[in-house]
Structure 1
Amino acid sequence: MTIKSHSSRESRNPRDFNDPRNKPQERSERPERPERSEWASRRSDRPEGATRERTERSRPDWAVRTEQRRSPRERFEGGDRPRPPRGAGLLAELRELDRDLIKMIARRSRMLTRLPASGASDHERELRTSWEEHASAVSRDPKLIRQIFALLQEVEVAPADMEQPTAFNLAPMRKPVNVDLPAPASDRLPRVHMTLAASGASECVLHGVPLNNPVMECLKGLNQVGARLRWEEDGRILCQGGEPVSGYSKSILDKVVHVGDDPFNLFLILFQMVTRPARLKIIGESGLKFVDLAPLRHFLPLLGARLTSVVPGQEGLPARLESSAMLPSEVAVPADLPADAVEALLIAAAGWERPVTMALGEHPEGRSVASKMLPILRDAGIEATLTDAEGALSLHVVPGKAHFGVEPGTGINLSAAAALLALPALAGGSVKLRGAWDATGDDQTREGVRELFAAVGLDMRFSADCAAVSFGEGLGEDAELPPLKPLTDLSGLPSSLFPVGLVLALIPAVRAKGGDLPRLPQNTDMTLVESFLNQLGLSCEDGRLVSIAPASTPWASPSFPWALALSLAAFLRPNIKLVNPGIVTNHLPWYWNAYNSLPTPSLARKSAEEEAAPAPSRPARRRVLASHTPESEMPDEIVYPDED
C-alpha cells in the first residue's frame, strides 16, 4: 500500500496561470444547461417543504426570528408585501434625530447654568467663536449661524420637579353675544406722552394708563436715563419734572439701559439719547436680539451718533450707542427706516437744541406717520407744521417743553378693539365699545377697521364716544348666521389688523371646507399663515384652500394680534389650544376673563362678601375619611339593617 504525502498530491497552484487547468473554459466547451421546463420538473420532484427549508437556511437568523414574531395577520401570502411610502423611513429617522437634538439642547442649557458668573462674557465669546468656526463648514449663511447660536443661548429648561404648563383651551360659548364694555386702552399713546414729559422734565399726571409690560418697561427705561416717573396701582403715571432727559444739561456715560422686549421702547429711548452726549450700552429681551438695526446704524451718523453691535455680526441687541449731540437742522428720513423709528424720531425732535425739518417724502409711510404725530405734538404744546408742496412732504418742529393743557387721553388699542368688534361676525349679536374714538391717535388704523367691517357686510356705527357692531340680531341660538360678503383682498390692511382680517376672510372657507386664499400683503410670512390655517383644518395649495385634518398640537402665537385672531378662530373650530396666553395678558390683562364669560362679559369684580359666600345651588362638600381594614379582620358576611 502506497501512501502519498500531502506534498506529493497533485494540486494546482491558483497563481500558476500557465497551468492549462487554470484557464477558463470556452463557452462552446461548457456543458449545456437544461431547459427551464427540465429545471422546473427537477424542482417539482423535490419533497414537499425542501424548498422552504433551503430558503429558511439561506436567510439570516435575525430575519427568520423577525418573521416568526410577526402575527399571521401581518404576513402576506406568496411574499407579496406592500412597499412603505416613499421617504417614510427617512422621515422616521429625521423625527428620531429631532428628539435627540432636543435632548442635547436641554443638556447644553443645563451645562450653561453651571458656568461661573464671573467672566460670563468671555465664556460666551469663546463658545460663539467655536460655534462659528465649526458651523461654517455646514452652512454658508453667517447670519443664520449667528441667529441659531443666539437662540441656543436663550433656551431655558424647566426643572424636572416643576409642574409643566398646559395649553390654554379655547372653547368659547357659541351664542349671540351682547357686549357692552369700555374700549381697550392703548399702551402706545401713554408711552409717547411719558417720553415727551420726560424729555422736557414736565410735571403732569396721566390717568387710566394700562400698567402692562410695554408701559412698565418704557417707564423703567426712561428712569434709567434720568427721568422721574412713578406709577400708582390705579393706572396713574406721575411725571415729577427734575432734569430733562434730552438736552445738554448732563451727559450719560458708561450706563447700561434695559428696554424690554418692545421695539418701540428701543426706538424711543435710543433717539432720546441721541439729543445729548452719551455713551451707553442698550440691552433687551430675546425678542430684540433679532430685530434688524442695520437701517438705524446707517442713519445715525447723520445725527452725529454711532450704533455698534456688541456681538460681532449680530443685527440686534445688545448694542453700544455713542452720541456727540451735534444735530443738524435738516434731516432726510430714509425709506428703509422702520415706521416706529420715524415716530420716535419726531418725538425726540421736541428736545433738540434748534428747530429741525424732517423730510418724509421718500419714506413709504411718511404721510401716515406725520398725520398721526402732528396732533400729538400740538396737544403737548410743541409747535409743529406739516408742509406738502409738490410731493416734498416735511414736518417742521420747534423744540420746547411739553405742556399738556388738557389731560391727555390714553387712546384706544385698535387691534384689541377690532377683535372684540368682530365677535358678531362669528357668533351673532352686538358689541358696543365705549371710548374716545375721535382721538384714537391712529386715524389710518381706525379707518382700516371701518373699511374692513364694511367689506364683509357688518353694520358698524361710529360716534364720538362709542363704536358698535351688530350682525344677525334676533336669531335664535341654534339658527345659522347669514353668509358674509367674501373678502378677497387683504393687501391694504395695516399689519396690526391683518390677523383679524384673515379670520374674517376664512369664515366661508372653514364652513365650506375649501375656497380661495385672499390676496395677502407683501412680505407676508407664509409659514406663519400656513401654521394658522392648519389650526382651522385648512391648507394652502397653489392659492387654493383645501380641507385637512386640524392640527392636534397646541399653537404658539408669535404676537399679540395673532393670539387675538386665534381666540376668534375658536368660534369656527372649538378646542384650539394656545400655548402662550400670557402674550395677551401682557397687553390686555382682562381679555381672557371677558372671553370666558361670553356672551355677556363684565369687568366688574365681585366683592369680598360675594366671593366668600358659598354658591346656593352647589351643596357643601363633605370630607370623607377612608381607613384601610386588613383582610384578616374583614367579616365573613356583611349584614345590612332592614329598611322600612
Structure 2
Amino acid sequence: MTEHSHDTRPRRPLREVVSNIDRDILHLLLRRHNLLARMHNSKGFLDPAEEKALRESWEAAVSRVSRDARLSGRFFSLMQEVEFLPRPSAQRDEGEGDEGGQAAGAERRQAFNLAPALRPVRVVMPAPLACRTTRAWLMLAAASGQALRIEPCLMNDPIVDCVKALNQLGAGLTREECGVAARETSPAGAPDKVLHVGDSAWNFFLLLGHYLGRPSRAKFTGETGLKLADFSAVRRFLPSLGARLVHVVPKSDGLPARLECSGILPDVVTPPADAPAELAEGILLAAPFYERPLTLDLSAHPRQRMILARVLPILRAADADISVLEGRVRVTPGPLRLPARPRLPLEPELAVFLLALPLVLSGETRLDGDWPQWPEAQAVWELLQALGL
C-alpha cells in the first residue's frame, strides 16, 4: 500500500513574498546605480551614447512584456536619476548581518537622525530673498546687457542653474559669496544651443519667453522633475505664437524638448485657462525686448492676480513702458533702466518655516525684509496670524 505524503507546512502569506521581491528590486537598483557610477566620465556624467544604448536596450526589453509608456519612459528616467544614501564606515556588531545580505562588519547605508534640542528659538537674520524675483532680474540684466548686483540672495539650485543657462546666451553673470553680479555686456541673443534648466519649470519659461520674440530654435533639457512634467498645454498654446515645441522622447510631455520660433507674434495674446501662469510671466518679462508691442490678455485667466502681482512691480522698477486695463497688459518695447541694486521682497515659502518655529518651540523669529504683496503670500500671512503668531 502506498501512502501519499502531504506537505503540511504553512504557506507564507503572499504579501511577504511580494515584500521580498521588492527588496530584491531595491538591491538590483543599488547595484545598477553603483555600476553607472563606474561608467561616468571624468566630468562625473554618463556619456550620451552609453545612456542612449541603455535606453534602447530597456525599451526593447519592455516592449516584450508591456505597452505602458510609463514603464518604458518614466521608469527608466527614475532609474537614471535615483539617489541612494551614502555609505558611512559604520560597522555593525559582530555576528549581525543586514537585510541587504552584507556580511558582519561590512559598511552599511543608514540615514541621519537629526533631532534638534527642544528649547525656545531666537532667530534674528536678514530674510531670504525671493528666488523667482532674483531670477527675473537676472533675466532682465542678461536681455538688456546692463549691470546690476543682487545681495544677499539665495544660492540654491534653481538660481545656479539659471545663471549657467543665461551665461550660455552671452550674459555676464558671476556667482559670488553673498550674491550674483551682472557685468555690462552685449544684450543676450537666442543661440541655437542645448540649454539645461535644472529642475525648475520657472527657468524653462523664462528662457522660453526670451526665445519667442525672435526667429530662433533651441533644445531644452532638465532634471527628473521636468522629464516627468506635463507641458502638453504649452505645446498646444505655442502655435498661436508662431512657435512649436517638440518633445524628444516619444510619448513624453516633458523635457528634453526642441523649440522652433518664427518670431512673428500676434498683437494680442490670450493664454487659455490651462496655460501655466509661469509662461505668461516669462512672456511679460521678455516683452520689452520684442520688436513690436504686445498685449497679453489675462482677463479670463484663473491666476491673473498672481501673475500681475509678481511681474508688474519688476517691470515698473525697470522703467518698462507698460499699461494695464482690466487684466490686459500692453508692453511696448523700449530701453530699460535697471537699478544697480534692485530691492527684492523676501521668499515667503522659506520665511514661513522660520516664522512658524515659535509656534512649536516658543521664542521669537525676526526677519529683516519686505513681505511680498502676492495673493498666496498674503494668504500665508493671514494663516500665521490665525494660528496665534
What TM-score, normalized by structure 1, do the two folds share?
0.52
CA deviations on 1:352-397 (whole Å, 9 max, x unpaired) are 1111100112221012211321111010111112211xxxx21111
Distance in structure 2 (CA, Å) of the matches to 1:343 and 1:364: 14
Q: How far is 1:96 from its partner?
A: 0.9
Is residue 178 of structure 2 the alignment partner of residue 234 of structure 1?
Answer: yes
Aligned length: 366
CA deviations on 1:500-528 (whole Å, 9 max, x unpaired) are xxxxxxxxxxxxxxxxxxxxxxxxxxxxx
Kindly, what percent of the aligned residue pairs are identical?
A: 37
Q: How far is 1:450 from its partner?
A: 2.1
The 3-state SS of whatever aligns with 1:168 is coil
> Which residue of structure 2 aligns with residue 538 of structure 1?
none
Distance in structure 1 (CA, Å) of the matches to 2:56 and 2:72: 15
CA deviations on 1:525-547 (whole Å, 9 max, x unpaired) are xxxxxxxxxxxxxxxxxxxxxxx
1:323 to 258, 261, 267: 261
The 3-state SS of whatever aligns with 1:273 is helix
Is residue 264 of structure 2 the alignment partner of residue 334 of structure 1?
Answer: no
Distance in structure 1 (CA, Å) of the matches to 2:341 and 2:293: 26
Q: How far is 1:176 from its partner?
A: 2.6
Is residue 125 of structure 2 the alignment partner of residue 201 of structure 1?
Answer: no
2:199 to 261, 277, 288: 261
Distance in structure 2 (CA, Å) of the matches to 1:157 and 1:179: 33
CA deviations on 1:9-36 (whole Å, 9 max, x unpaired) are xxxxxxxxxxxxxxxxxxxxxxxxxxxx
Distance in structure 1 (CA, Å) of the matches to 2:183 and 2:65: 50
Distance in structure 2 (CA, Å) of the matches to 1:148 and 1:401: 47
Distance in structure 2 (CA, Å) of the matches to 1:375 and 1:156: 40
Question: 1:143, 1:314 within 8 Å by CA — same for their partners in 2?
Answer: no
1:362 to 273, 280, 300: 300
Distance in structure 2 (CA, Å) of the matches to 1:278 and 1:91: 55
1:152 to 79, 83, 87: 79
Distance in structure 2 (CA, Å) of the matches to 1:165 and 1:344: 43
Is residue 64 of structure 2 the alignment partner of residue 134 of structure 1?
Answer: yes
1:23-172 matched pairs, under 5 angstroms: 60=5, 89-109=13-33, 117=47, 119-120=49-50, 122-136=52-66, 141-143=68-70, 145-155=72-82, 166-172=110-116
> Which residue of structure 2 aligns with residue 380 of structure 1?
318
1:222-301 matched pairs, under 5 angstroms: 222-245=166-189, 252-253=191-192, 255-301=193-239
**Alpha-carbon distance change, 165 to 196 in structure 1, aligned in 2, over 3 angstroms:** farther
1:413 to 347, 357, 375: 347
Question: 1:131, 1:149 within 8 Å by CA — same for their partners in 2?
Answer: no
Q: How far is 1:117 from its partner?
A: 4.3
Question: 2:268, 2:297 within 8 Å by CA — same for their partners in 1?
Answer: yes
CA deviations on 1:240-293 (whole Å, 9 max, x unpaired) are 221333xxxxx523x211111111111111221222222222112222111111
CA deviations on 1:583-642 (whole Å, 9 max, x unpaired) are xxxxxxxxxxxxxxxxxxxxxxxxxxxxxxxxxxxxxxxxxxxxxxxxxxxxxxxxxxxx
CA deviations on 1:418-457 (whole Å, 9 max, x unpaired) are 11111121122222212233xx3x4323311221023223
Question: Aligned letter for 1:133?
Answer: S
What TM-score, normalized by structure 2, do the two folds share?
0.84
**Alpha-carbon distance change, 135 to 293 in structure 1, aligned in 2, over 3 angstroms:** farther
Q: Name the Cα RMSD after superposition.
A: 3.0
Question: 1:290, 1:316 within 8 Å by CA — same for their partners in 2?
Answer: yes
Question: Aligned letter for 2:73?
Answer: R
**Alpha-carbon distance change, 156 to 190 in structure 1, aligned in 2, over 3 angstroms:** closer
Q: How far is 1:312 from its partner?
A: 0.8
The 3-state SS of whatever aligns with 1:322 is strand
> Which residue of structure 2 aligns with residue 433 of structure 1?
367
Distance in structure 1 (CA, Å) of the matches to 2:239 and 2:108: 48
Which runs of 5 or more residues in structure 2 are unaligned?
Answer: 41-45, 90-106
Question: 2:128, 2:154 within 8 Å by CA — same for their partners in 1?
Answer: no
Which moves more between the two structures, 193-202 or 148-157? 148-157
Question: 1:143, 1:313 within 8 Å by CA — same for their partners in 2?
Answer: no
**Alpha-carbon distance change, 122 to 262 in structure 1, aligned in 2, over 3 angstroms:** closer
Question: 2:145, 2:184 within 8 Å by CA — same for their partners in 1?
Answer: yes
**Alpha-carbon distance change, 150 to 367 in structure 1, aligned in 2, over 3 angstroms:** same
Q: Which has the higher contact order (CA 8 A, sep 6+)?
A: 2
> Which residue of structure 2 aligns with residue 397 of structure 1?
331
Question: 2:85, 2:109 within 8 Å by CA — same for their partners in 1?
Answer: no
Which runs of 5 or more residues in structure 1 are unaligned?
Answer: 1-56, 67-82, 246-250, 459-644
Question: 1:132, 1:146 within 8 Å by CA — same for their partners in 2?
Answer: no
Distance in structure 2 (CA, Å) of the matches to 1:204 and 1:284: 27
Which moves more between the two structures, 95-104 or 234-243? 234-243
Question: 1:147, 1:290 within 8 Å by CA — same for their partners in 2?
Answer: yes
Q: How far is 1:233 from its partner?
A: 2.2
Q: How far is 1:108 from its partner?
A: 4.3
Question: Aligned letter for 2:383?
Answer: L
**Alpha-carbon distance change, 128 to 239 in structure 1, aligned in 2, over 3 angstroms:** farther
Distance in structure 2 (CA, Å) of the matches to 1:127 and 1:176: 57
Question: 1:303, 1:326 within 8 Å by CA — same for their partners in 2?
Answer: yes
Question: Aligned letter for 2:378?
Answer: E
Q: How far is 1:208 from its partner?
A: 1.9
Which moves more between the two structures, 219-228 or 102-111? 102-111
Distance in structure 2 (CA, Å) of the matches to 1:367 and 1:161: 49
Distance in structure 2 (CA, Å) of the matches to 1:216 and 1:223: 11
1:480-495 matched pairs, under 5 angstroms: none
**Alpha-carbon distance change, 176 to 157 in structure 1, aligned in 2, over 3 angstroms:** closer
1:453 to 363, 384, 387: 384
CA deviations on 1:214-242 (whole Å, 9 max, x unpaired) are 11110110111222222322324123221
> Which residue of structure 1 aligns with residue 100 of structure 2?
none
